[in-house]
């Protein structure tokens, strides 16, 4: 479908896990995320409970408490929103050529809906504190501590015990939050679940918190309605697409938006962005003894869209191609290679030769042709072409 997209060359990419590990250590995104957390906690104290609400592998290995998940999502949001960052600089995205237009435009969607997505990050799991349950297999250390199905031990006691055991292990092993969560899971085999938390998060109980946080991020009425719908169905977005491509589920999502008089295209846009932040960037899975990024729900969502509502993929490609053309023109301008000036310097008269030279210049800049193919004896222009090539790949990555 996308066979005419340019082949990627000379792009330095990094894995999602390595990129986020760097972002989580010391970055502008981390500082901005933590500032945002402090501001929201001051207005909505219940958010501070995320710092002591357990989570567990295999689905959440980014840390032992919910705040690790929330902070990771926020860091990714701030980093992706930077104008100098491209999601295509990450291995998992750069290797999937047919979805390049979707990735490119979804990054724009994230920037355009930054406030709504910020509110979503803080609110989508707020119901977990009411629905949390623990389970550990019979005979495990976790079960011996009372973490088994239908345990009679009060929930507040189990929460305190869980956190105390985590702190002891962290002190013993002197490891970071990610490794501690896995070591703890392997030792105690406790799995944490939150049945139907999405429904509770979007319900009446947390209406006040949604209003305060929506006010904090200055959401308009349309975005507040969209936010509640995103929270309510974010788990469905994972469950619907985690095992394969299901275009009929896109129709379900569109019907849900339509019932609330929300534009279907807008809803699918922000839902895809939320799914990306929640599953790909906000979570670390632990599978077969290794850390992993689960791209399946997000990719299957996009591929299901292509089948259910093909006009969306076509519109993204049109928008993508325009942005690519604008970007290429900006590279020419920055390198001092505006085509009309180039033709004048090289004394190329109007006609077919101009088209041939323009195409050759583009191929050289995109590294699809060698500078030796430029048969004009003008070293200054050759130098500008090489500089433009460097600029093209530097700013595109």
What is the SS3 assignment for 191?
A: strand
At 311 the pLDDT is 92
User: What angle, rounded to 10 degrees, do the helices at 264-275 and 100-112 form?
Assistant: 100
Q: Where are the domains of the chain?
A: 16-132+194-308, 314-396
Average pLDDT estimate for 217-241? 98
Query: How far apart, in whole angstroms, are the C-alpha atoms of residue 296 and residue 280?
Result: 9
Q: Tell which residue, 206, 171, 163, 211, has the closest CA to residue 188.
A: 163
The model carries a pTM of 0.86
pLDDT tens digit sequence for 286-303: 988 999 999 999 999 999
Dist CA 15 CA 21 (whole Å) = 10
Strand residues in 179-280 grouped as ranges (E): 191-193
67 pLDDT band, cuts 50/70/90, is: very high
What is the pairing mode between strands 285-287 and 133-135?
A: unpaired
* Cβ–Cβ under 8 Å, residues 114 and 77: yes
Tracing tokens 């047919």 back to the chain, one arrives at 98
Residue 11 confidence (pLDDT): 56
Per-residue pLDDT at 373: 85
What are the pLDDT digits (tens) for 306-336? 999 999 988 888 988 888 888 889 998 898 8
Of 66-75, 215-224, 321-330, the one with minimum mean pLDDT is 321-330
Q: pLDDT at residue 3 above 70?
A: no
For the chain, percent of residues with pLDDT exceeding 70: 97
| Confidence at residue 1, expressed as pLDDT on a 0 to 100 scale | 34
pLDDT digits (tens, 9 = 90+) for 331-372: 988 988 888 888 888 888 998 899 999 999 999 998 888 888
For the ranges 180-189, 271-280, 310-319, which has the lowest average pLDDT?
A: 310-319
Residue 384, token pair as written in the block: 């500008």
pLDDT of 8 above 60 = no
């Amino acid at each position: 479908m996308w066979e005419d997209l340019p082949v990627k060359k000379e792009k330095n990419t990094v894995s999602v896990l390595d990129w986020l590990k760097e972002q989580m250590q010391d970055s502008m995104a981390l500082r901005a995320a933590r500032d945002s957390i402090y501001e929201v906690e001051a207005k909505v104290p219940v958010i501070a409970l995320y710092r002591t609400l357990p989570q567990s592998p295999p689905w959440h290995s980014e840390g032992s408490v919910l705040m690790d998940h929330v902070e990771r999502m926020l860091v990714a949001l701030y980093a992706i929103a930077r104008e100098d960052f491209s999601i295509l600089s990450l291995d998992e995205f750069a290797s999937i050529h047919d979805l390049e237009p979707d990735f490119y435009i979804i990054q724009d969607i994230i920037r355009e809906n930054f406030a709504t997505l910020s509110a979503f990050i803080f609110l989508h799991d707020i119901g977990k504190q009411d629905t949390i349950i623990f389970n550990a297999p019979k005979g495990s250390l976790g079960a011996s501590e009372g973490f088994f199905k239908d345990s009679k031990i009060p929930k507040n006691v189990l929460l305190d015990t869980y956190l105390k055991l985590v702190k002891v292990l962290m002190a013993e092993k002197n490891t970071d939050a990610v490794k501690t969560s896995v070591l703890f899971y392997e030792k105690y085999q406790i799995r944490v679940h939150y049945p139907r938390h999405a429904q509770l998060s979007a319900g009446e109980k947390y209406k006040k918190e949604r209003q305060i946080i929506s006010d904090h991020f200055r959401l308009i009425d349309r975005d507040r309605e969209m936010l509640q719908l995103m929270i309510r169905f974010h788990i469905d977005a994972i469950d619907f697409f985690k095992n394969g491509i299901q275009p009929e589920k896109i129709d379900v999502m569109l019907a849900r938006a339509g019932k609330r008089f929300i534009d279907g295209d807008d809803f699918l846009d922000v839902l895809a962005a939320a799914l990306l932040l929640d599953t790909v960037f906000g979570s670390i899975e632990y599978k077969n003894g290794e850390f992993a990024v689960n791209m399946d729900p997000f990719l299957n969502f996009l591929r299901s869209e292509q089948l259910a509502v093909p006009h969306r993929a076509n519109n993204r490609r049109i928008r993508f191609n325009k942005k690519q053309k604008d970007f290429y023109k900006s590279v020419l301008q920055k390198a001092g290679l505006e085509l009309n000036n180039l033709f004048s310097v090289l004394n190329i008269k109007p006609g077919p030769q101009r088209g041939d030279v323009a195409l050759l210049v583009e191929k050289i800049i995109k590294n699809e042709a060698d500078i030796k193919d430029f048969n004009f004896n003008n070293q200054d222009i050759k130098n500008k072409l090489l500089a433009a090539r460097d600029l093209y790949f530097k700013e595109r990555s």
